[in-house]
């Protein structure tokens, strides 16, 4: 399925209008369940470093961003009362030290009753008078910012909102597609910088320039790993000097559009036939996993199936020996593939609600032996998540196999061969459809080609 990546802000007006209707309906349900008449959603406030007057980069409340695409609007509030137009209390201070938010403008404005305030003390006059009938959603670390609302993040409402957020609206899908396209643009630039002999720092800068993001605008810290650094799952250091020989390159990096994120990983070889073949095998395996996706599929089962497929890959690549069941039961596959298959994706890179069974707050833990799986739900149409299998040489995990029945199933000579390359991960962003799956990442790569 090929998606449309050329949506403009004007094109988003209709989908966004319907999105706000859906968000209102979710809040109606959450407020009814919690016995509230009004929902107040706080955008967040800057956090300051200890003993300093410098704030960390602002990270808006994802609940606020689900209403309005204003990623850089601290100290603002949305007030929603069922049956009424949502109110946006838009904080625009008089300030000559910093750049303040501009005038409210864009495809989203007509959906709100926008009220500009110059001082946080002015917020109170725009809030419902009956504070006891309100719930407040957000990170409140200063009681003054609650303005007398006592019910903050009640679970009776939060569970409903978190469970529902896994199903994306038409507007959200459009934003996620555009985030994939933006991220893929960066990946193409990063591969070119790698082929040109750049350092990890050089590649990272090439990526940021291509996606037009500062580091604080990225949805997460880029993983830019050359050679054995690829074996560090969350490697976020950037060597300034390129290695004498760049044998491999793994990049895990995303981008944002209107607050929605992409999360994409690719691995590249440099003039090594055996490693190139292993990367190609992993690429085919990842696509085989995606072909299994459909409505009603249990994601935990898909994760376990992936371990069985990884076992086959290890045997085919002469990294391990034995039958599939033995490689799983002895922990061989977990040593080479220790993380989860994927996670929900949306406003948050690891979008909330991945372990929820229902809107009442019941949770389903990952299967035994797979503690790092972030998604255990049954798949529904318009869920969006990542598929990211991998194989790595992580010595501290492989050493745990020494002295056990698993040791004889590992080809340690092949491990020594693979170690300088670090590892392989291939990650796409996928939507569940009635026909199977839409691969936003592959579609974006095809479009840019």
Q: How many CB atoms lie within 10 A of CB 140?
A: 17
30-to-109, 134, 184 alpha-carbon distances in Å: 24, 12, 37
Task: Name the nearest CA neighbour of 393 among 371, 367, 413.
Answer: 413
Say if residue 196 is in the same domain as residue 125: no
Q: Helices then strands (H, E): number in the chain?
A: 12, 15
Say if residue 153 is in the same domain as residue 263: no
Q: Which DSSP string corresponds to 125-175? A: GGS-S-GGGEEEES---SGGGGTT---BS-HHHHHHHHHHTTBPPHHHHHH
Say if residue 184 is in the same domain as residue 109: no
Q: What is the pLDDT of residues 119-175, one digit of tens each?
A: 999 999 999 999 999 999 999 999 999 999 999 999 999 999 999 999 999 999 999
pLDDT of residue 99: 84
Say if residue 118 is in the same domain as residue 218: no
> Domain end: 164, 195, 227, which one?
164
Provide the domain count of the chain: 2
Asked if residue 4 belongs to a domain, the reply is: no
Contact 262, 219 (CB under 8 A): yes
Say if residue 196 is in the same domain as residue 340: yes
Asked if residue 360 belongs to a domain, the reply is: yes
Say if residue 41 is in the same domain as residue 79: yes
Two tokens at 49? 């470093």
Say if residue 195 is in the same domain as residue 157: no
Asked if residue 122 belongs to a domain, the reply is: yes
Two tokens at 196? 């040109």
CATH assignment at residue 236:
3.90.230.10
pLDDT of residue 93: 95
Contact 159, 360 (CB under 8 A): yes
Give the Cα separation of 347 and 438 in Å (integer).
19
Q: What is the pLDDT of residues 262-304, one digit of tens each?
A: 999 999 999 899 999 999 999 999 999 999 999 999 999 999 9
Task: Name the nearest CA neighbour of 298 among 384, 378, 400.
Answer: 378
CATH assignment at residue 80:
3.40.350.10
With a pLDDT cut of 90, the percent of the chain lying above it is 95
Strand 77-80 to 87-91 pairing: antiparallel
pLDDT of residue 5: 44
> Domain end: 120, 139, 164, which one?
164
Q: What is the mean pLDDT of residues 62-83?
A: 97
* pTM for this entry: 0.96
> Domain end: 130, 164, 198, which one?
164
Asked if residue 1 belongs to a domain, the reply is: no
Say if residue 259 is in the same domain as residue 285: yes
Residue ranges making up the domain that contains 38: 13-164
Contact 336, 392 (CB under 8 A): yes
Q: Does the pLDDT value for residue 6 go beyond 80?
A: no
pLDDT of residue 7: 59
């Amino acid at each position: 399925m090929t998606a449309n990546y050329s949506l403009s802000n004007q094109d988003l007006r209709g989908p966004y209008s319907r999105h706000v209707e859906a968000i209102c309906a979710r809040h109606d349900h959450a407020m009814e369940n919690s016995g509230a008449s009004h929902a107040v959603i706080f955008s967040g406030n800057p956090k300051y470093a200890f003993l300093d007057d410098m704030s960390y980069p602002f990270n808006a409340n994802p609940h606020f961003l689900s209403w309005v695409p204003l990623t850089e609007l601290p100290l603002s509030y949305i007030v929603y009362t069922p049956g009424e137009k949502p109110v946006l209390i838009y904080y625009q201070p008089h300030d000559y030290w910093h750049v303040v938010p501009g005038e409210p403008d864009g495809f989203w404005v007509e959906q709100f009753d926008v009220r500009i305030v110059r001082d946080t003390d002015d917020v109170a006059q725009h809030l419902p008078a009956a504070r006891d009938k309100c719930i407040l959603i957000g990170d409140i670390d200063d009681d003054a910012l609650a303005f007398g609302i006592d019910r903050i993040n009640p679970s009776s409402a939060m569970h409903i909102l978190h469970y529902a957020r896994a199903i994306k609206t038409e507007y959200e899908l459009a934003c996620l597609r555009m985030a994939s396209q933006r991220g893929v643009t960066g990946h193409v630039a990063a591969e070119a910088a790698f082929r040109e002999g750049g350092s990890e720092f050089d590649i990272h800068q090439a990526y940021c320039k291509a996606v037009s993001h500062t580091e604080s605008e990225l949805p997460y810290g880029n993983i830019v790993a050359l050679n054995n650094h690829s074996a560090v799952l969350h490697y976020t250091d950037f060597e300034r000097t390129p290695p004498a020989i760049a044998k491999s390159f793994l990049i895990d990096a995303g981008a944002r559009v209107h607050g929605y994120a992409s999360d994409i990983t690719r691995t590249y070889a440099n003039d090594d036939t055996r490693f190139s073949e292993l990367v190609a095998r992993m690429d085919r395996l990842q696509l085989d996993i995606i072909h299994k996706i459909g409505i009603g599929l249990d994601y935990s089962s898909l994760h376990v199936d992936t371990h069985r497929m990884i076992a086959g890959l290890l045997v085919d690549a002469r990294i391990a020996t034995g039958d599939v069941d033995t490689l799983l039961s002895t922990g061989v596959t977990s040593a080479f593939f220790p993380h989860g298959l994927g996670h929900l994706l949306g406003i948050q890179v690891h979008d909330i609600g991945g372990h929820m069974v229902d809107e009442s707050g019941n949770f389903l833990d990952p299967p035994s032996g797979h503690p790092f799986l972030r998604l255990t739900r049954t798949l529904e149409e318009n869920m969006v998540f990542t598929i990211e299998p991998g194989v790595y040489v992580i010595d501290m995990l492989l050493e745990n196999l020494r002295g056990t029945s698993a040791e004889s199933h590992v080809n340690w000579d092949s491990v020594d061969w693979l170690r300088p390359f670090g590892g392989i991960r291939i990650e796409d962003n996928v939507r569940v459809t009635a026909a199977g799956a839409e691969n936003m990442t592959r579609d974006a790569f095809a479009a840019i080609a």
